[in-house]
Amino acid sequence: MRQTLFYIPPEIFGIPIFGFGLANLLLILIILAISIRHFCKTKKWDEELGNYFIIFVVIGTMLMIVPKLMEPEIGIPIRGYGVCLLVAILSALGLVLRLSKRKQIPSELIFSLCLWAVLGGILGARVFYVTEYWQDMAHYENGQLQLLTTLYNIANIANGGLVVYGSIFGGILGSLLFMVRNKMPVLVTFDLMAPAMMLGISLGRIGCFLNGCCFGGVTDVAWGVVFPEGSPAHFHQMEHGQTFYCGLKFAEHAIGDTLFLAVKEVQPDSNAERAGLKANMLLRGIVGVVDGKTLAWEIGTQRIIPPSAPDKLACCKKQESGIAHNTFEWIAYLQQMSPKEKIRFDIYSDWQKQETQPYFVTPSSSVVLPVHPTQIYSSLMAALLCIILLILGRFEIFRRCDGSIFAAFLILYSVARFILEMIRTDEDSFFGTGMTVSQNVSVLVLTTGIMLSIFLYRNHDKK
């Protein structure tokens, strides 16, 4: 896991690089040179020049907001996920350009097509993520949704949150719109894009590994990966009571129709045990030190209320059917507390009278359990599917039936993704189906791929 690869300094010789700086100036010069060269060649303002302008606007806007992502006195962080995403896009573009030569499709059209595919893919990936993790996007204060903060969270892609299936759907839709508008052969072009999408996913998943997301379940296999303390995998393990933090494991505990957070287990010979904490105690609140300030988090029976919490963690799930769904958000704040400072756990001595007793625990290192590196599995799987699709493209039956490679992509990827989701544990069951969101989508994609295959081969037999 290496979320940040390096930092770009905010300025060179006192001249800012981003915002109204050198980067935007260089971008203007590059776009201007490309546009002049294209105009001199074609003697007209066409759609390709318009696409160059769109690229300029998109990248220029991104460069303008980059200073807001700057870490004080350090610079602009270059994230591993973002670098891998860029490499994935460029590699997929290169493969599509190479394959398009066989179908005699102009490279100019391919460049423009990929622009639409990338923009549609990013938008689709973000929409899919926001829909799936709405509780992480929505920001509430006093039970009221804060619209501006929520919209900022939705737009803040730099804070993480892209879903592969969303990128596939968005990329397909954006590509389809461009192909129809420019009267390109739809099925032929999708056949060219299918292996390229697999190549892009293969490289993009390496970024997931560097980011620490999309992890698998706890395992004892020799190649299991131990992510660092404070990583998404570590947070997930603490949230689900798989590992100790401060010598404690926690679980939700219902008394009647009221839900509490209880001590599930106390680590033997730990600071928590020495402080007198025991299993089955009900937790009322936590008081600790963050950045030198004393902060208190009340863990209510209705929902967790973490004042002064970061926006991305401040959302609270509302009560449903008389039982509150505890989100364990306070665990993230424990990680921010100084390891030299004691944390006070307020435990109910009588929950009906709301009486509590304080227990002081000195924080200790938390054990992170090894997990399946499903990001690497996904990367290797996508690379293998890319090779398979390229091989299928050499068979006569696939060459003569336009769209068959794309149908094979839908079938193979959906089956492989469904199987991989069995190993991943970062997603819960979707609407009581017993399957994750991605598994449900995989079933729909598989059905679509099979139906498309039947349609293509029936029509192929009639020719």
Per-residue pLDDT, averaged over 399-404, amounts to 86
The pLDDT tens digits for 428-454 are 666 667 788 888 889 999 999 999 998
- One-letter amino acid identity for 115? L
Domain boundaries, given as residue ranges, for the chain = 79-218+372-462, 244-361
The pLDDT tens digits for 55-108 are 777 777 767 666 666 666 677 777 888 888 889 988 998 899 898 888 888 877
Flag the least confident range among 59-63, 291-295, 320-324, 382-386: 320-324
Task: Give the confidence band of 311 by pLDDT, cuts at 50, 70, 90.
Answer: very low
Per-residue pLDDT, averaged over 376-388, amounts to 95
Instruction: Name the percent of the chain lying above pLDDT 90.
Output: 18
Q: What global pTM score does this model have?
A: 0.75
Task: Give the confidence band of 326 by pLDDT, cuts at 50, 70, 90.
Answer: very low
Judged against a pLDDT cut of 50, whether residue 366 lies above it is answered with yes
Q: 171-177 — which CB contacts under 8 Å span 24+ positions?
A: 171/117, 171/118, 171/120, 171/121, 171/124, 171/197, 172/117, 172/120, 173/120, 173/124, 174/116, 174/117, 174/118, 174/119, 174/120, 174/121, 174/123, 174/124, 175/113, 175/116, 175/117, 175/120, 177/116, 177/120
Buried b or exposed e, range 126-154, using 16+ CB within 10 angstroms: bebbbebbeebbbbbeeeeebeebbeebb
Within 8 A by CB and 6+ apart from 153, the residues are: 136, 137, 138, 139, 159, 311, 312
Pick 244-361's CATH classification: 3.40.50.1220, 3.30.420.40, 3.30.530.20, 2.30.42.10.
2.30.42.10
Flag the least confident range among 21-25, 167-171, 389-393: 21-25
Widest distance between CA atoms in the chain:
83
Instruction: Say what the pLDDT of residue 325 is.
Output: 34
Flag the least confident range among 71-85, 256-270, 365-379, 433-447: 71-85
Instruction: Name the percent of the chain lying above pLDDT 70.
Output: 76
Q: What is the mean pLDDT of the chain?
A: 78
The pLDDT tens digits for 185-215 are 888 889 999 999 999 999 999 988 998 888 8
DSSP for 371-399 reads B--HHHHHHHHHHHHHHHHHHHTTSHHHH
Judged against a pLDDT cut of 90, whether residue 243 lies above it is answered with no
Task: Give the confidence band of 378 by pLDDT, cuts at 50, 70, 90.
Answer: very high
